[in-house]
Structure 1
Amino acid sequence: MTTVTAPASAGPTWLDAVRAERQKLFSVRSTWWTLAAIVVLGAGLTTIICAASADWLASDDADEAVGSFITWGMMIAQVGAVVLGALAVTTEYGSGQIRSTFAATPARGRVLAAKALVVTVVLFVAGTVTALLGYVGGNWFLDREGIGMALEGDVLRSMYGSGLYLAGLGLMSVGAGFILRHTAGVISLLLALVFVLSAMAPLIPGVVGEWIEKLMPGNAGASIATPVAFNPGLLDPWPGYGAFVVEIAVVLAVAWILVKRRDA
Protein backbone atom coordinates (compact mmCIF):
# COMPACT_ATOMS: atom_id res chain seq x y z
CA MET A 1 0.00 0.00 0.00
CA THR A 2 1.36 3.41 -0.99
CA THR A 3 1.10 6.25 1.53
CA VAL A 4 0.70 9.75 0.12
CA THR A 5 2.12 12.47 2.29
CA ALA A 6 0.62 15.95 1.85
CA PRO A 7 3.20 18.65 1.34
CA ALA A 8 3.73 20.97 4.28
CA SER A 9 2.06 24.34 3.99
CA ALA A 10 4.39 27.09 2.88
CA GLY A 11 2.49 29.58 5.00
CA PRO A 12 0.68 32.71 3.83
CA THR A 13 1.75 34.03 0.45
CA TRP A 14 2.52 37.65 -0.36
CA LEU A 15 -1.01 38.13 -1.74
CA ASP A 16 -2.48 36.57 1.39
CA ALA A 17 -0.60 39.11 3.51
CA VAL A 18 -1.81 41.99 1.33
CA ARG A 19 -5.43 40.81 1.51
CA ALA A 20 -5.19 40.45 5.28
CA GLU A 21 -3.80 43.97 5.71
CA ARG A 22 -6.45 45.41 3.41
CA GLN A 23 -9.21 43.73 5.40
CA LYS A 24 -7.77 44.91 8.71
CA LEU A 25 -7.39 48.49 7.49
CA PHE A 26 -10.96 48.78 6.24
CA SER A 27 -12.56 46.85 9.08
CA VAL A 28 -12.10 49.70 11.58
CA ARG A 29 -14.08 52.94 11.69
CA SER A 30 -10.99 55.10 12.17
CA THR A 31 -9.91 54.37 8.58
CA TRP A 32 -13.19 55.57 7.12
CA TRP A 33 -13.32 58.64 9.34
CA THR A 34 -9.74 59.55 8.47
CA LEU A 35 -10.30 59.13 4.73
CA ALA A 36 -13.49 61.22 4.97
CA ALA A 37 -11.58 63.95 6.80
CA ILE A 38 -8.85 63.93 4.14
CA VAL A 39 -11.35 64.37 1.31
CA VAL A 40 -13.73 66.80 2.99
CA LEU A 41 -11.12 69.03 4.60
CA GLY A 42 -8.66 68.87 1.71
CA ALA A 43 -11.12 69.59 -1.09
CA GLY A 44 -13.33 71.83 1.05
CA LEU A 45 -10.55 74.11 2.24
CA THR A 46 -9.13 74.45 -1.27
CA THR A 47 -12.57 75.54 -2.47
CA ILE A 48 -13.06 77.97 0.42
CA ILE A 49 -9.61 79.54 0.07
CA CYS A 50 -10.01 79.97 -3.68
CA ALA A 51 -13.47 81.49 -3.18
CA ALA A 52 -12.14 83.92 -0.58
CA SER A 53 -9.00 84.84 -2.52
CA ALA A 54 -10.20 84.89 -6.15
CA ASP A 55 -11.00 88.61 -6.20
CA TRP A 56 -7.65 89.50 -4.65
CA LEU A 57 -5.71 87.13 -6.91
CA ALA A 58 -7.29 88.78 -9.96
CA SER A 59 -6.27 92.26 -8.78
CA ASP A 60 -3.01 94.11 -9.29
CA ASP A 61 -2.34 93.91 -5.55
CA ALA A 62 -1.84 90.13 -5.59
CA ASP A 63 1.69 89.09 -4.69
CA GLU A 64 1.10 85.32 -4.85
CA ALA A 65 0.60 83.02 -7.85
CA VAL A 66 -2.84 81.58 -8.50
CA GLY A 67 -1.27 78.13 -8.73
CA SER A 68 -0.23 78.29 -5.08
CA PHE A 69 -3.88 78.15 -4.02
CA ILE A 70 -5.36 75.43 -6.24
CA THR A 71 -4.18 72.62 -3.90
CA TRP A 72 -4.10 74.67 -0.68
CA GLY A 73 -6.27 72.21 1.23
CA MET A 74 -3.68 69.46 0.86
CA MET A 75 -1.71 71.16 3.64
CA ILE A 76 -4.44 70.01 6.02
CA ALA A 77 -5.08 66.69 4.27
CA GLN A 78 -1.50 65.64 5.01
CA VAL A 79 -2.40 65.36 8.71
CA GLY A 80 -4.89 62.62 7.81
CA ALA A 81 -2.23 60.77 5.83
CA VAL A 82 0.08 60.72 8.85
CA VAL A 83 -2.73 59.51 11.12
CA LEU A 84 -3.82 56.73 8.76
CA GLY A 85 -0.28 55.45 8.26
CA ALA A 86 0.37 55.44 11.98
CA LEU A 87 -2.88 53.71 12.93
CA ALA A 88 -2.33 50.98 10.34
CA VAL A 89 0.58 49.78 12.50
CA THR A 90 0.34 51.07 16.05
CA THR A 91 -3.21 49.93 16.80
CA GLU A 92 -2.01 46.33 16.45
CA TYR A 93 0.84 46.94 18.86
CA GLY A 94 -1.49 48.67 21.30
CA SER A 95 -4.03 45.82 21.29
CA GLY A 96 -1.47 43.03 21.13
CA GLN A 97 -2.89 41.80 17.83
CA ILE A 98 0.54 42.16 16.25
CA ARG A 99 1.56 38.88 17.93
CA SER A 100 -1.22 37.07 16.10
CA THR A 101 -0.24 38.78 12.86
CA PHE A 102 3.38 37.66 13.18
CA ALA A 103 2.29 34.16 14.20
CA ALA A 104 0.14 33.89 11.08
CA THR A 105 2.87 35.39 8.89
CA PRO A 106 6.26 34.44 10.37
CA ALA A 107 8.06 36.37 7.62
CA ARG A 108 7.78 39.70 9.44
CA GLY A 109 9.24 41.70 6.60
CA ARG A 110 6.30 40.53 4.50
CA VAL A 111 3.89 42.05 7.04
CA LEU A 112 5.69 45.39 6.88
CA ALA A 113 5.73 45.34 3.08
CA ALA A 114 2.04 44.40 2.87
CA LYS A 115 0.99 47.19 5.23
CA ALA A 116 3.17 49.65 3.31
CA LEU A 117 1.64 48.67 -0.03
CA VAL A 118 -1.96 48.89 1.18
CA VAL A 119 -1.47 52.28 2.87
CA THR A 120 0.41 53.64 -0.16
CA VAL A 121 -2.30 52.67 -2.66
CA VAL A 122 -5.16 53.91 -0.46
CA LEU A 123 -3.54 57.28 0.20
CA PHE A 124 -2.46 57.78 -3.40
CA VAL A 125 -6.05 57.33 -4.54
CA ALA A 126 -7.45 59.45 -1.70
CA GLY A 127 -4.91 62.23 -2.28
CA THR A 128 -5.47 62.38 -6.02
CA VAL A 129 -9.26 62.36 -5.68
CA THR A 130 -9.10 65.06 -3.00
CA ALA A 131 -6.89 67.29 -5.12
CA LEU A 132 -9.17 66.87 -8.15
CA LEU A 133 -12.29 67.70 -6.14
CA GLY A 134 -10.57 70.76 -4.70
CA TYR A 135 -9.52 71.82 -8.19
CA VAL A 136 -13.07 71.53 -9.53
CA GLY A 137 -14.49 73.50 -6.61
CA GLY A 138 -11.76 76.11 -6.36
CA ASN A 139 -11.30 76.65 -10.07
CA TRP A 140 -15.00 77.47 -10.43
CA PHE A 141 -14.44 80.63 -8.39
CA LEU A 142 -11.17 81.42 -10.16
CA ASP A 143 -12.89 81.10 -13.55
CA ARG A 144 -15.46 83.70 -12.51
CA GLU A 145 -12.60 86.18 -12.07
CA GLY A 146 -10.98 85.21 -15.36
CA ILE A 147 -7.99 83.52 -13.75
CA GLY A 148 -9.03 79.87 -13.97
CA MET A 149 -6.35 77.23 -14.54
CA ALA A 150 -6.50 74.47 -17.16
CA LEU A 151 -6.00 70.89 -15.98
CA GLU A 152 -2.68 70.43 -17.75
CA GLY A 153 1.04 70.86 -17.20
CA ASP A 154 1.99 71.70 -13.62
CA VAL A 155 -1.64 71.80 -12.53
CA LEU A 156 -2.19 68.23 -13.71
CA ARG A 157 1.08 67.16 -12.10
CA SER A 158 -0.06 68.66 -8.79
CA MET A 159 -3.18 66.48 -8.86
CA TYR A 160 -1.42 63.11 -8.94
CA GLY A 161 1.48 64.76 -7.10
CA SER A 162 -0.88 65.29 -4.18
CA GLY A 163 -1.58 61.56 -4.21
CA LEU A 164 2.14 60.81 -4.32
CA TYR A 165 2.82 63.17 -1.42
CA LEU A 166 0.10 61.75 0.83
CA ALA A 167 1.19 58.21 -0.07
CA GLY A 168 4.77 59.12 0.89
CA LEU A 169 3.68 60.57 4.22
CA GLY A 170 1.62 57.47 4.97
CA LEU A 171 4.55 55.23 4.05
CA MET A 172 6.88 57.17 6.34
CA SER A 173 4.30 56.87 9.12
CA VAL A 174 4.12 53.10 8.61
CA GLY A 175 7.90 52.87 9.02
CA ALA A 176 7.83 55.12 12.08
CA GLY A 177 5.00 53.01 13.48
CA PHE A 178 7.12 49.86 13.42
CA ILE A 179 10.02 51.78 14.98
CA LEU A 180 8.17 53.56 17.80
CA ARG A 181 5.15 51.22 18.19
CA HIS A 182 3.17 54.04 19.82
CA THR A 183 0.35 55.97 18.13
CA ALA A 184 0.83 59.34 19.83
CA GLY A 185 4.60 59.16 19.42
CA VAL A 186 4.42 58.50 15.68
CA ILE A 187 1.82 61.18 14.98
CA SER A 188 3.62 63.75 17.13
CA LEU A 189 6.99 63.04 15.50
CA LEU A 190 5.71 63.17 11.93
CA LEU A 191 3.62 66.30 12.46
CA ALA A 192 6.59 67.98 14.13
CA LEU A 193 8.76 67.14 11.11
CA VAL A 194 6.15 68.33 8.62
CA PHE A 195 4.98 71.50 10.33
CA VAL A 196 7.15 72.63 13.25
CA LEU A 197 10.71 71.75 12.28
CA SER A 198 10.12 72.67 8.62
CA ALA A 199 9.04 76.14 9.76
CA MET A 200 11.98 76.49 12.16
CA ALA A 201 14.68 75.40 9.69
CA PRO A 202 15.03 78.90 8.13
CA LEU A 203 16.22 80.15 11.53
CA ILE A 204 19.49 78.25 10.99
CA PRO A 205 21.90 80.69 9.31
CA GLY A 206 23.87 80.16 6.14
CA VAL A 207 23.90 77.52 3.46
CA VAL A 208 23.45 74.73 6.00
CA GLY A 209 20.16 76.22 7.10
CA GLU A 210 19.00 76.62 3.50
CA TRP A 211 19.62 72.96 2.72
CA ILE A 212 18.06 71.72 5.93
CA GLU A 213 14.96 73.72 5.02
CA LYS A 214 14.89 72.25 1.52
CA LEU A 215 15.36 68.67 2.71
CA MET A 216 12.86 68.61 5.57
CA PRO A 217 10.23 65.98 4.62
CA GLY A 218 7.35 68.46 4.67
CA ASN A 219 9.20 70.76 2.27
CA ALA A 220 10.92 68.27 -0.02
CA GLY A 221 7.82 66.17 -0.60
CA ALA A 222 5.17 68.87 -0.75
CA SER A 223 6.58 70.68 -3.79
CA ILE A 224 5.16 68.04 -6.09
CA ALA A 225 1.65 68.68 -4.73
CA THR A 226 1.33 72.28 -5.92
CA PRO A 227 1.74 73.97 -9.32
CA VAL A 228 3.61 76.88 -7.71
CA ALA A 229 5.15 76.61 -4.25
CA PHE A 230 4.61 79.45 -1.79
CA ASN A 231 8.34 79.25 -0.95
CA PRO A 232 10.42 79.75 -4.13
CA GLY A 233 13.57 78.64 -2.33
CA LEU A 234 12.52 74.98 -2.11
CA LEU A 235 13.67 72.21 -4.42
CA ASP A 236 11.89 71.71 -7.72
CA PRO A 237 9.01 69.20 -7.59
CA TRP A 238 10.69 66.03 -8.87
CA PRO A 239 14.14 66.53 -7.25
CA GLY A 240 12.34 67.38 -4.02
CA TYR A 241 10.20 64.28 -4.20
CA GLY A 242 13.30 62.23 -4.98
CA ALA A 243 14.88 63.47 -1.74
CA PHE A 244 11.63 62.67 0.07
CA VAL A 245 11.70 59.10 -1.29
CA VAL A 246 15.26 58.64 -0.01
CA GLU A 247 14.15 59.80 3.45
CA ILE A 248 11.23 57.37 3.37
CA ALA A 249 13.56 54.55 2.33
CA VAL A 250 15.86 55.24 5.29
CA VAL A 251 12.93 55.10 7.76
CA LEU A 252 11.63 51.86 6.21
CA ALA A 253 15.08 50.29 6.27
CA VAL A 254 15.42 50.98 9.99
CA ALA A 255 11.90 49.64 10.55
CA TRP A 256 12.69 46.48 8.56
CA ILE A 257 15.77 45.76 10.69
CA LEU A 258 13.97 46.36 13.98
CA VAL A 259 10.92 44.30 13.00
CA LYS A 260 13.14 41.29 12.34
CA ARG A 261 15.24 41.68 15.51
CA ARG A 262 12.79 42.79 18.22
CA ASP A 263 10.17 40.80 20.01
CA ALA A 264 6.56 41.58 19.16
Structure 2
Amino acid sequence: MSTPDQPGPPPADGAVTPGPYAAYTSPIPVVRTHLGHAIAAEWTKLRSVRSTLWTLGVYVLLVVGTGLLIGLGVSASSTDLRGEENTLALGIVGVLVGSVCLVTLGALTTTSEYTTGLIRTTMTTCPSRVRVLLAKAVVFFLLAFTVTLVCSTLVGFLQTSLLSGSGAPRPTGDQWLKATVGVSLFLALLGLVSLLVGSMLRHAAAAITVMIGVVLAPLVLALFVTTQSLQWLRTGLLRYSVPFQLSVFYTGRLGDGGPTGWDPVWIMLGVAVVAFAGAWALLNRRDV
Protein backbone atom coordinates (compact mmCIF):
# COMPACT_ATOMS: atom_id res chain seq x y z
CA MET A 1 0.00 0.00 0.00
CA SER A 2 1.27 3.45 -0.88
CA THR A 3 1.57 6.31 1.56
CA PRO A 4 1.00 10.04 0.88
CA ASP A 5 4.77 10.45 0.59
CA GLN A 6 5.29 7.49 -1.75
CA PRO A 7 3.94 7.09 -5.29
CA GLY A 8 1.49 4.27 -5.85
CA PRO A 9 1.89 1.44 -8.32
CA PRO A 10 1.86 2.29 -12.04
CA PRO A 11 -1.57 2.20 -13.68
CA ALA A 12 -2.57 -0.98 -15.45
CA ASP A 13 -3.24 -1.25 -19.19
CA GLY A 14 -1.69 2.13 -19.96
CA ALA A 15 -4.37 4.08 -18.05
CA VAL A 16 -3.51 7.66 -17.11
CA THR A 17 -4.17 8.82 -13.60
CA PRO A 18 -5.27 12.43 -13.03
CA GLY A 19 -2.45 14.79 -12.16
CA PRO A 20 -2.32 17.08 -9.15
CA TYR A 21 -4.08 19.90 -11.11
CA ALA A 22 -6.94 17.86 -12.58
CA ALA A 23 -9.50 19.20 -10.11
CA TYR A 24 -8.50 22.85 -10.56
CA THR A 25 -11.36 25.27 -11.27
CA SER A 26 -10.62 28.74 -12.59
CA PRO A 27 -12.01 31.57 -10.41
CA ILE A 28 -12.64 33.62 -13.55
CA PRO A 29 -16.35 33.32 -14.42
CA VAL A 30 -17.22 32.03 -17.86
CA VAL A 31 -19.61 34.48 -19.51
CA ARG A 32 -21.52 33.69 -22.67
CA THR A 33 -20.64 36.41 -25.17
CA HIS A 34 -23.33 38.35 -27.02
CA LEU A 35 -23.75 41.35 -29.30
CA GLY A 36 -23.28 43.79 -26.41
CA HIS A 37 -19.72 42.60 -25.88
CA ALA A 38 -18.94 43.05 -29.58
CA ILE A 39 -20.42 46.55 -29.52
CA ALA A 40 -18.30 47.46 -26.48
CA ALA A 41 -15.17 46.17 -28.23
CA GLU A 42 -15.90 48.08 -31.43
CA TRP A 43 -16.59 51.27 -29.50
CA THR A 44 -13.26 50.90 -27.70
CA LYS A 45 -11.45 50.45 -31.01
CA LEU A 46 -13.23 53.32 -32.73
CA ARG A 47 -12.61 55.88 -29.98
CA SER A 48 -9.00 54.75 -29.54
CA VAL A 49 -8.01 55.54 -33.14
CA ARG A 50 -6.67 59.04 -33.75
CA SER A 51 -8.30 59.22 -37.18
CA THR A 52 -11.72 59.16 -35.51
CA LEU A 53 -10.97 62.27 -33.45
CA TRP A 54 -9.44 64.13 -36.39
CA THR A 55 -12.18 63.21 -38.85
CA LEU A 56 -15.01 64.08 -36.51
CA GLY A 57 -13.22 67.27 -35.47
CA VAL A 58 -12.99 68.43 -39.08
CA TYR A 59 -16.61 67.37 -39.62
CA VAL A 60 -17.84 69.48 -36.71
CA LEU A 61 -15.70 72.40 -37.86
CA LEU A 62 -17.09 72.24 -41.39
CA VAL A 63 -20.75 71.87 -40.42
CA VAL A 64 -20.81 74.43 -37.61
CA GLY A 65 -18.22 76.79 -39.07
CA THR A 66 -19.75 76.92 -42.55
CA GLY A 67 -23.25 77.32 -41.13
CA LEU A 68 -22.12 80.15 -38.87
CA LEU A 69 -20.27 81.95 -41.67
CA ILE A 70 -23.30 81.75 -43.97
CA GLY A 71 -25.56 83.00 -41.21
CA LEU A 72 -23.25 85.92 -40.49
CA GLY A 73 -22.96 86.74 -44.18
CA VAL A 74 -26.70 86.76 -44.78
CA SER A 75 -27.43 88.78 -41.63
CA ALA A 76 -24.76 91.35 -42.56
CA SER A 77 -26.17 91.80 -46.06
CA SER A 78 -29.40 93.34 -44.72
CA THR A 79 -31.40 91.03 -46.98
CA ASP A 80 -35.15 90.87 -46.42
CA LEU A 81 -36.01 87.22 -45.73
CA ARG A 82 -39.75 87.58 -45.33
CA GLY A 83 -40.36 85.48 -48.45
CA GLU A 84 -38.19 82.58 -47.35
CA GLU A 85 -40.01 79.34 -46.58
CA ASN A 86 -37.32 77.67 -44.47
CA THR A 87 -34.31 79.58 -43.18
CA LEU A 88 -32.82 76.31 -41.88
CA ALA A 89 -31.96 75.52 -45.51
CA LEU A 90 -28.88 77.71 -45.12
CA GLY A 91 -27.28 74.85 -43.19
CA ILE A 92 -27.26 72.48 -46.16
CA VAL A 93 -23.91 73.75 -47.44
CA GLY A 94 -21.96 72.80 -44.33
CA VAL A 95 -23.76 69.47 -44.00
CA LEU A 96 -23.07 68.56 -47.62
CA VAL A 97 -19.39 69.46 -47.42
CA GLY A 98 -19.03 67.69 -44.10
CA SER A 99 -20.57 64.50 -45.47
CA VAL A 100 -17.19 63.71 -47.04
CA CYS A 101 -15.78 63.36 -43.51
CA LEU A 102 -18.45 60.84 -42.52
CA VAL A 103 -17.84 58.89 -45.71
CA THR A 104 -14.11 58.83 -44.94
CA LEU A 105 -14.63 57.77 -41.32
CA GLY A 106 -17.05 55.03 -42.34
CA ALA A 107 -14.55 53.54 -44.76
CA LEU A 108 -11.69 53.76 -42.25
CA THR A 109 -13.74 52.01 -39.57
CA THR A 110 -13.37 48.70 -41.39
CA THR A 111 -10.40 49.11 -43.75
CA SER A 112 -7.99 50.22 -41.00
CA GLU A 113 -8.26 46.79 -39.38
CA TYR A 114 -7.30 45.09 -42.62
CA THR A 115 -4.35 47.46 -43.02
CA THR A 116 -2.95 46.79 -39.55
CA GLY A 117 -3.91 43.11 -39.40
CA LEU A 118 -6.11 43.66 -36.35
CA ILE A 119 -8.97 41.99 -38.19
CA ARG A 120 -7.38 38.59 -37.48
CA THR A 121 -7.48 39.24 -33.74
CA THR A 122 -11.05 40.50 -34.02
CA MET A 123 -12.27 37.41 -35.85
CA THR A 124 -10.38 35.09 -33.50
CA THR A 125 -11.92 36.75 -30.47
CA CYS A 126 -15.39 36.79 -32.02
CA PRO A 127 -15.77 33.98 -34.58
CA SER A 128 -19.29 35.14 -35.48
CA ARG A 129 -18.52 37.40 -38.42
CA VAL A 130 -22.04 38.73 -38.77
CA ARG A 131 -21.87 39.82 -35.12
CA VAL A 132 -18.65 41.74 -35.79
CA LEU A 133 -20.11 43.46 -38.85
CA LEU A 134 -23.34 44.29 -37.04
CA ALA A 135 -21.46 45.69 -34.05
CA LYS A 136 -19.37 47.95 -36.29
CA ALA A 137 -22.53 49.14 -38.04
CA VAL A 138 -24.36 49.90 -34.78
CA VAL A 139 -21.44 51.77 -33.20
CA PHE A 140 -20.71 53.87 -36.27
CA PHE A 141 -24.37 54.67 -36.99
CA LEU A 142 -25.07 55.83 -33.43
CA LEU A 143 -21.89 57.93 -33.35
CA ALA A 144 -22.53 59.56 -36.74
CA PHE A 145 -26.19 60.20 -35.93
CA THR A 146 -25.43 61.77 -32.54
CA VAL A 147 -22.67 64.05 -33.80
CA THR A 148 -24.73 65.18 -36.80
CA LEU A 149 -27.80 65.77 -34.67
CA VAL A 150 -25.87 67.99 -32.26
CA CYS A 151 -24.18 69.93 -35.07
CA SER A 152 -27.32 70.46 -37.17
CA THR A 153 -29.32 71.57 -34.13
CA LEU A 154 -26.60 73.99 -33.06
CA VAL A 155 -26.33 75.44 -36.57
CA GLY A 156 -30.10 75.82 -36.75
CA PHE A 157 -30.25 77.77 -33.50
CA LEU A 158 -27.30 79.97 -34.51
CA GLN A 159 -28.76 80.83 -37.89
CA THR A 160 -32.29 81.52 -36.65
CA SER A 161 -30.94 83.82 -33.93
CA LEU A 162 -28.70 85.66 -36.40
CA LEU A 163 -31.51 86.11 -38.92
CA SER A 164 -34.22 87.02 -36.44
CA GLY A 165 -33.84 90.71 -37.30
CA SER A 166 -34.09 90.14 -41.06
CA GLY A 167 -37.78 89.31 -41.08
CA ALA A 168 -37.13 85.60 -41.50
CA PRO A 169 -40.08 83.38 -40.50
CA ARG A 170 -39.61 81.10 -37.53
CA PRO A 171 -39.18 77.46 -38.60
CA THR A 172 -42.05 75.13 -37.81
CA GLY A 173 -41.73 71.98 -35.75
CA ASP A 174 -41.83 69.80 -38.86
CA GLN A 175 -39.06 71.85 -40.47
CA TRP A 176 -36.92 71.52 -37.34
CA LEU A 177 -37.50 67.75 -37.23
CA LYS A 178 -36.47 67.22 -40.85
CA ALA A 179 -33.49 69.61 -40.70
CA THR A 180 -32.10 67.86 -37.61
CA VAL A 181 -33.33 64.28 -37.16
CA GLY A 182 -34.00 63.69 -40.88
CA VAL A 183 -30.63 65.01 -42.00
CA SER A 184 -28.85 63.10 -39.22
CA LEU A 185 -30.50 59.80 -40.19
CA PHE A 186 -29.67 60.32 -43.86
CA LEU A 187 -26.01 61.18 -43.29
CA ALA A 188 -25.53 58.40 -40.73
CA LEU A 189 -26.91 55.89 -43.23
CA LEU A 190 -24.67 57.33 -45.95
CA GLY A 191 -21.64 56.84 -43.72
CA LEU A 192 -22.86 53.33 -42.89
CA VAL A 193 -22.96 52.47 -46.58
CA SER A 194 -19.34 53.67 -46.80
CA LEU A 195 -18.43 51.37 -43.90
CA LEU A 196 -20.02 48.40 -45.67
CA VAL A 197 -18.32 49.25 -48.97
CA GLY A 198 -15.04 49.37 -47.06
CA SER A 199 -15.76 45.90 -45.68
CA MET A 200 -16.28 44.62 -49.21
CA LEU A 201 -13.26 46.32 -50.80
CA ARG A 202 -10.88 46.08 -47.80
CA HIS A 203 -8.94 49.09 -49.06
CA ALA A 204 -9.35 52.60 -47.66
CA ALA A 205 -8.47 54.57 -50.80
CA ALA A 206 -10.71 52.41 -52.99
CA ALA A 207 -13.69 52.64 -50.63
CA ILE A 208 -13.39 56.40 -50.18
CA THR A 209 -13.04 56.94 -53.93
CA VAL A 210 -16.10 54.84 -54.66
CA MET A 211 -18.20 56.66 -52.08
CA ILE A 212 -17.13 60.13 -53.21
CA GLY A 213 -18.12 59.03 -56.70
CA VAL A 214 -21.51 57.92 -55.38
CA VAL A 215 -22.00 61.31 -53.72
CA LEU A 216 -20.83 63.54 -56.58
CA ALA A 217 -20.89 61.57 -59.85
CA PRO A 218 -24.70 61.60 -60.46
CA LEU A 219 -24.88 65.37 -60.03
CA VAL A 220 -21.84 66.01 -62.24
CA LEU A 221 -23.13 63.67 -64.96
CA ALA A 222 -26.54 65.33 -64.90
CA LEU A 223 -24.96 68.74 -65.53
CA PHE A 224 -23.40 67.48 -68.78
CA VAL A 225 -26.32 65.42 -70.07
CA THR A 226 -27.95 68.07 -72.24
CA THR A 227 -29.35 65.91 -75.06
CA GLN A 228 -33.13 66.13 -75.27
CA SER A 229 -33.48 62.39 -75.82
CA LEU A 230 -31.67 61.74 -72.51
CA GLN A 231 -33.74 64.20 -70.51
CA TRP A 232 -35.22 61.32 -68.51
CA LEU A 233 -31.72 60.24 -67.48
CA ARG A 234 -30.76 63.76 -66.46
CA THR A 235 -33.91 64.11 -64.37
CA GLY A 236 -33.32 60.79 -62.64
CA LEU A 237 -29.69 61.56 -61.86
CA LEU A 238 -30.65 64.91 -60.36
CA ARG A 239 -33.54 63.60 -58.29
CA TYR A 240 -31.64 60.70 -56.76
CA SER A 241 -28.22 62.29 -56.29
CA VAL A 242 -27.12 62.71 -52.69
CA PRO A 243 -27.09 66.57 -52.71
CA PHE A 244 -30.63 66.75 -54.09
CA GLN A 245 -31.84 64.01 -51.74
CA LEU A 246 -30.42 65.99 -48.86
CA SER A 247 -32.17 69.15 -50.01
CA VAL A 248 -35.55 67.39 -49.74
CA PHE A 249 -35.35 67.78 -45.95
CA TYR A 250 -35.26 71.55 -46.41
CA THR A 251 -37.43 72.15 -49.48
CA GLY A 252 -40.00 69.38 -49.09
CA ARG A 253 -39.93 67.98 -52.65
CA LEU A 254 -38.02 68.05 -55.95
CA GLY A 255 -40.63 68.60 -58.60
CA ASP A 256 -43.35 66.22 -59.74
CA GLY A 257 -42.57 62.56 -59.19
CA GLY A 258 -39.47 63.17 -57.09
CA PRO A 259 -38.84 62.08 -53.50
CA THR A 260 -40.77 63.95 -50.84
CA GLY A 261 -40.90 64.10 -47.06
CA TRP A 262 -38.89 61.29 -45.50
CA ASP A 263 -38.37 59.36 -48.74
CA PRO A 264 -34.59 59.97 -48.82
CA VAL A 265 -34.23 58.16 -45.50
CA TRP A 266 -36.08 55.09 -46.78
CA ILE A 267 -34.08 55.11 -50.03
CA MET A 268 -30.76 55.29 -48.18
CA LEU A 269 -31.95 52.63 -45.73
CA GLY A 270 -32.69 50.30 -48.65
CA VAL A 271 -29.22 50.92 -50.07
CA ALA A 272 -27.69 50.21 -46.65
CA VAL A 273 -29.59 46.91 -46.33
CA VAL A 274 -28.38 45.76 -49.75
CA ALA A 275 -24.81 46.81 -48.91
CA PHE A 276 -24.99 44.97 -45.58
CA ALA A 277 -26.12 41.78 -47.31
CA GLY A 278 -23.25 42.04 -49.80
CA ALA A 279 -20.66 42.74 -47.09
CA TRP A 280 -21.96 39.85 -44.97
CA ALA A 281 -21.82 37.42 -47.90
CA LEU A 282 -18.26 38.38 -48.82
CA LEU A 283 -17.11 38.37 -45.21
CA ASN A 284 -18.32 34.79 -44.73
CA ARG A 285 -16.81 33.63 -48.01
CA ARG A 286 -13.32 35.14 -47.80
CA ASP A 287 -10.44 34.56 -45.41
CA VAL A 288 -9.16 37.37 -43.24
> Normalised by the size of structure 1, how large is the TM-score?
0.86
- For residue 118 of structure 1, give the secondary structure of its aligned residue in structure 2: helix
What is the aligned partner in structure 1 of residue 231 from structure 2? Answer: 206
Q: CA deviation at 1:150?
A: 3.1
> How many Å separate the matches in 2 of 1:253 and 1:223?
28
Unaligned runs of 5+ in 1: none
Say if 1:63 and 1:200 are closer, same or farther in 2 by CA, change over 3 A. Answer: farther
Which runs of structure 1 show a deviation greater than 4 angstroms over 4 or more consecutive aligned residues? Answer: 3-6, 62-65, 229-234
What is the aligned partner in structure 2 of residue 228 from structure 1? Answer: 251
RMSD: 2.8
> How many Å separate the matches in 1 of 2:268 and 2:56?
23
> How many Å separate the matches in 2 of 1:36 and 1:116?
21
> How many Å separate the matches in 2 of 1:248 and 1:261?
20
Say if 1:71 and 1:182 are closer, same or farther in 2 by CA, change over 3 A. Answer: same
Q: Which moved more, 1:179-188 or 1:227-236?
A: 227-236
What is the aligned partner in structure 2 of residue 242 from structure 1? Answer: 266
Q: 1:110 and 2:161 equivalent?
A: no
- 1:139-188: CA deviation from partner (whole Å, max 9, x where unpaired): 22211212153362223321111211221111101110111111111111
Aligned AA (1:213): L
What is the aligned partner in structure 2 of residue 159 from structure 1? Answer: 180
What is the aligned partner in structure 2 of residue 147 from structure 1? Answer: 168
What is the aligned partner in structure 1 of residue 90 from structure 2? Answer: 69
Aligned AA (1:43): V
What is the aligned partner in structure 2 of residue 85 from structure 1? Answer: 106
Q: Which moved more, 1:89-98 or 1:158-167?
A: 158-167
Q: 1:29 and 2:50 equivalent?
A: yes
Unaligned runs of 5+ in 2: 1-22
Say if 1:186 and 1:48 are closer, same or farther in 2 by CA, change over 3 A. Answer: same
Q: Which moved more, 1:120-129 or 1:46-55?
A: 46-55
> How many Å separate the matches in 1 of 2:116 and 2:102?
22
2:241 to 188, 212, 216: 216
> How many Å separate the matches in 2 of 1:256 and 1:211?
30
What is the aligned partner in structure 1 of residue 12 from structure 2? Answer: none
Aligned AA (1:251): A
Q: 1:39 and 2:39 equivalent?
A: no
User: Which has the higher Rg, Structure 1 or Structure 2?
Assistant: 2
Q: Which moved more, 1:99-108 or 1:137-146?
A: 137-146
Work out whether residues 71 and 135 of structure 1, in 8 Å CA contact, stay in contact via their aligned partners in 2: no
- For residue 227 of structure 1, give the secondary structure of its aligned residue in structure 2: helix
Q: CA deviation at 1:218?
A: 4.8
Q: CA deviation at 1:79?
A: 1.1
Aligned AA (1:152): G
Work out whether residues 82 and 190 of structure 1, in 8 Å CA contact, stay in contact via their aligned partners in 2: yes
Aligned AA (1:28): V
Work out whether residues 252 and 260 of structure 2, in 8 Å CA contact, stay in contact via their aligned partners in 1: no
- 1:181-219: CA deviation from partner (whole Å, max 9, x where unpaired): 111111111111112333323544232432233233454
Say if 1:162 and 1:147 are closer, same or farther in 2 by CA, change over 3 A. Answer: same
What is the aligned partner in structure 1 of residue 18 from structure 2? Answer: none
